[in-house]
């Protein structure tokens, strides 16, 4: 990953410096006898980690999330409220690749059955991008939508973390108790295979020199028939990833009935 110093990192450093200076000024102002400044409180590792999560001021960046069920990758473009999402599902006879592009309230889909092109022909599914009509889908969660700059729910995980400690190399550790955070469990249900995981789940994270979250990992313990696994979020290529734009002209077609049959299951 190419390291860089961007506007957001600079702003974060300015803000951190301003807080320290303000705290020092307040301490000095309260000392009528001029007995000297008290030391500013040490930085809060949890707040540092929260500040590293991507926000609306960041440029386009890439992301990946992975757990026992598979990998999801793509690009988030905050300026255009756009997102590309790529998923891969493997079967013994074929690999299904599904891609989505979201810009504001519009969504496109592309499907490719690798190793079994006959399936695609039999289903009458085109291989080019298709624009989807949300009114033809069952359930609000059937269609990806733009939901901000944190597709891996890193912020929610960090907020639920306790005993967050900072290492000297941009690394952080902590623990998360999902049983005490039912809302977090619900938020992660669609992106991580948690099973009956509960208790103190170890968390590790890495922040780069620009103050941006590079990775966050939950070590999910074995539970019943479910083996121990990891849930990993990665954010990278800030300012290098392409911007996300709506398809125009013949770049996409209207989705046929077969596309909705696939999504509606």
Q: DSSP labels for the chain?
A: ------HHHHHHHHHHHHHHHHHHHHHHHT-TT---PPPPPPP-HHHHHHHTS--TTS--EEEEEEETTEEEEEEEEGGGTEEEEEEEEE-SS-EEEEEEEEETTEEEEEEEEET-HHHHHHTT--SSEEE--GGGSSSGGGS-----S-TT-HHHHHHTEEEEEE-TTSEEEEEEEGGG-HHHHHHHTTTS--TT--SEEEEEEEE-TTS-EEEEEEEEPPBTTBPPEEEEEEEE-TTTSPPP----GGGEEE--HHHHHHHH-
Name which of 38-47, 49-58, 68-77 the model is least confident about.
38-47
- Does the pLDDT of residue 8 top 60, yes or no? no
Residue 35 — φ and ψ, nearest 5°? Answer: -85, 5
Residue 241 has pLDDT above 90, yes or no: yes
Both tokens assigned to 74? 């793509």
Q: What are the residue boundaries of the structural domains of the chain, listed by start?
A: 7-42, 82-148+247-264
Highest mean pLDDT among 82-96, 191-205, 234-248: 234-248
Percentage of residues of the chain with pLDDT beyond 90: 49
Higher confidence at residue 111 or residue 29? 111
Q: Is the pLDDT of residue 59 over 80?
A: yes
Residue 12 has pLDDT above 70, yes or no: no
Cβ atoms of 149 and 56 closer than 8 Å: yes
What integer is the mean pLDDT of 68-84? Answer: 93
Q: Give 219-240 pLDDT, tens digit per residue.
A: 988 777 778 889 999 999 999 9
Dump pLDDT digits (tens) for 243-256.
Answer: 999 999 999 999 99
0.75 exceeded by pTM? yes
pLDDT tens column, 116-143: 667 888 888 998 999 999 999 887 667 8
């Amino acid at each position: 990953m190419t390291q860089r110093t961007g506007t957001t990192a600079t702003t974060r450093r300015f803000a951190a410096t301003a807080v320290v200076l303000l705290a020092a000024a307040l301490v000095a102002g309260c000392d009528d006898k001029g007995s000297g400044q008290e030391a500013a409180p040490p930085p809060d590792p949890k707040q540092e980690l929260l500040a590293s999560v991507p926000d609306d001021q960041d440029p386009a960046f890439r992301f990946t999330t992975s757990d026992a069920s598979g990998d999801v990758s793509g690009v988030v473009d905050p300026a255009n409220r756009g997102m590309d999402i790529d998923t891969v599902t493997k079967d013994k006879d074929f690999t299904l690749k599904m891609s989505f592009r979201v810009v504001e309230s519009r969504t496109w889909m592309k499907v490719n059955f690798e190793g079994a092109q006959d399936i695609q022909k039999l289903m009458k599914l085109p291989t080019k991008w298709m624009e989807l009509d949300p009114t033809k889908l069952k359930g609000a969660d059937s269609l990806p939508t733009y939901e901000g700059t944190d597709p891996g729910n890193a912020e929610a995980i960090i907020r639920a973390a306790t005993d967050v400690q900072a290492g000297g190399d941009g690394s952080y550790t902590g623990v998360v108790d999902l049983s005490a955070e039912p809302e977090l469990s619900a938020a992660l249900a669609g992106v991580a295979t948690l099973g009956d995981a509960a208790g103190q789940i170890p968390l590790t994270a890495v922040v780069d020199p620009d103050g941006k979250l590079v990775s966050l990992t939950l070590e999910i313990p074995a539970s019943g028939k479910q083996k121990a696994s990891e849930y990993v979020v990665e954010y990278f290529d800030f300012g290098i990833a392409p911007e996300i734009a709506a398809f125009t002209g013949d770049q996409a077609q209207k989705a046929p009935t077969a596309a909705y049959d696939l999504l509606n299951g």
